[in-house]
Amino acid sequence: MWANENRRLQYKIFGDVVTCETTYRTNLYNMPFGLFVGVNNHFQSIIFAGVLVVDETEESFMWAFSEFLRMMVGVAPRTVLIDQNKAMELALNSIMPNTAHRWCKWPVLKKAKKTLGPLYSKKSDFSLEFHKVGNSMLTVDEFEEGWRMLLEKDKLQTHPYMTRLFEAGRSGRSHISKGRPVIKAR
């Protein structure tokens, strides 16, 4: 893992929300490469730190998050955006228990497109309703009613991916917000 003094200064100023993503073995060393990224006051992405890990296990992520905190003098971000990586979720719960972590919307939608196939196309009613439920519902009751209607209309009550998304929400871990929407993972 590495970060320099300039990256630590940037983190001190802009480190409230951090995205942590790994690319899967796309580098010369065939190892997952991770970046801790934020956004500055000009809406530009800024890299706080980079890390090569042996694998994407809970233990590797625990080490990576611990090292990140050490490099950032023990100051945890308020929110970490992640994909739907369970090992990363568990490591964050352990290392940064007071930090909210949320699922980035982009991987959620990418996986929805992959798992739902033609049902989730740009021109489908399902896609429009799915986005409406995710982006426009203001209360828990509105969300749950919209979700129920969405599943009933397309007979998706037992679809594994849709069930997982809903269960994340039922356990208090789900949230899609406006702007750069995310689904909360905690």
pLDDT in tens, 93-122: 999 999 988 887 777 888 888 888 888 877
pLDDT in tens, 24-36: 667 777 888 999 9
Q: For residue 80, what are its two tokens?
A: 């970490």
Question: Domain segments of the chain: what residues?
Answer: 5-98, 105-184
Q: Report the alpha-carbon distance of residue 83 to residue 102 in Å, rounded.
A: 8
* pLDDT at site 175: 42
Model pTM score: 0.74
Please name which of 97, 98, 116 lies closest in space to residue 162, comparing C-alpha atoms: 116
Report whether 49 contacts 33 (CB < 8 A): no
Report whether 22 contacts 56 (CB < 8 A): yes
For residue 90, list its beta bridge partners. none
Report whether 92 contacts 65 (CB < 8 A): yes
Backbone region of residue 117 per phi and psi (left: phi > 0; alpha: psi in -120 to 50; beta: other values): left
Q: Report the alpha-carbon distance of residue 182 to residue 107 in Å, rounded.
A: 9
